[in-house]
Amino acid sequence: MPGAIRIAVIDYDAGNTLSVTRALEKVGARVDLTSDPDRVRSADAVVLPGVGAFGDCMKKLRERGMDLACREVFRSGKPFLGVCVALQVIFEGSEESPGAEGLGLLPGGVRRFKGGDLKVPHMGWNELRLVRDHPVLDGLDGEAFYFVHSFYPEPAEAGDLVGETEYGVRFCAAAGRENLIAVQFHPEKSSGAGLRLYENFLAWSRML
């Protein structure tokens, strides 16, 4: 519709871009699925999906110039949502891919679940507990979301932690600051709670 905000979904062969795009469209967003960094920069809000290994995702982002575009979007103050491994790549590095630099939008690193009696990867439905309020997670404290991952971030600054989930340890399932919010789980696979998150992101994008 004329005057509607445009949300760019970054297309970098990340695996879950189409399902994220469809979920956003379902809640009424005007979505631009794009592999063009300039269209990402010019969008009103940005979503970075992600599936796969930390190092592979960063390599694909760098090859397309999307690493620079993501940093510019963050600095610009535009609403920025990261999904699944995108929560990990917003940090500085990961045990999964030693030597691979993350986007470094937030200080901290990414650790592997230790295993033991736990099955790794952590796969299935689990409960999100908010550490602090955030508009994108409004009404979602205690809701169950769908996870598939073997690694989790450890923010260096406590204020960047937004939500936690329990799986052998309490781990960071949502983090962010200012115009950035990222979640480890898959909202697009999380039924009504996931759609509520995307609705919240759309509303937040109109406010910022």
The 10s digit of each residue's pLDDT in 63-102 is 999 999 999 999 999 999 999 999 999 999 999 999 999 9
Q: Which domain, by its residues, includes 124?
A: 6-207
CATH number for the domain spanning 103: value is: 3.40.50.880
Q: What is the Cα–Cα distance from 201 to 45, expressed in whole angstroms?
A: 9
Answer yes or no: is 118 within a domain: yes
Position 3 scores a pLDDT of 57
Which residues does residue 34 pair with via DSSP β-bridges, in sequence order? Answer: 10
Task: Pick the catalytic residue from 70, 122, 149, 186.
Answer: 186
Query: What does residue 83 show for φ and ψ, rounded to 5 degrees?
Result: -125, 135
Answer yes or no: is 33 within a domain: yes
Q: Is 84 labeled as catalytic in the residue annotation?
A: yes
Answer yes or no: is 153 within a domain: yes
Instruction: Give the C-alpha distances (Å, rounded to integers) separating 40 from 7, 71, 110, 117, 195.
Output: 8, 11, 26, 43, 23
Q: Is 134 labeled as catalytic in the residue annotation?
A: no
Task: Pick the catalytic residue from 143, 149, 172, 188.
Answer: 188
Structurally, how many domains does the chain consist of? 1
| Cα–Cα nearest to 176, from 105, 114, 100 | 105
pLDDT digits (tens, 9 = 90+) for 9-47: 999 987 778 899 999 999 999 999 999 999 999 999 999
Answer yes or no: is 1 within a domain: no
pTM for the whole thing? Answer: 0.96
Task: Pick the catalytic residue from 84, 122, 149, 199.
Answer: 84
Q: Is 149 labeled as catalytic in the residue annotation?
A: no
Q: What is the Cα–Cα distance from 51 to 39, expressed in whole angstroms?
A: 22
pLDDT digits (tens, 9 = 90+) for 121-164: 999 999 999 999 999 999 999 999 999 999 999 999 999 999 99
Answer yes or no: is 21 within a domain: yes
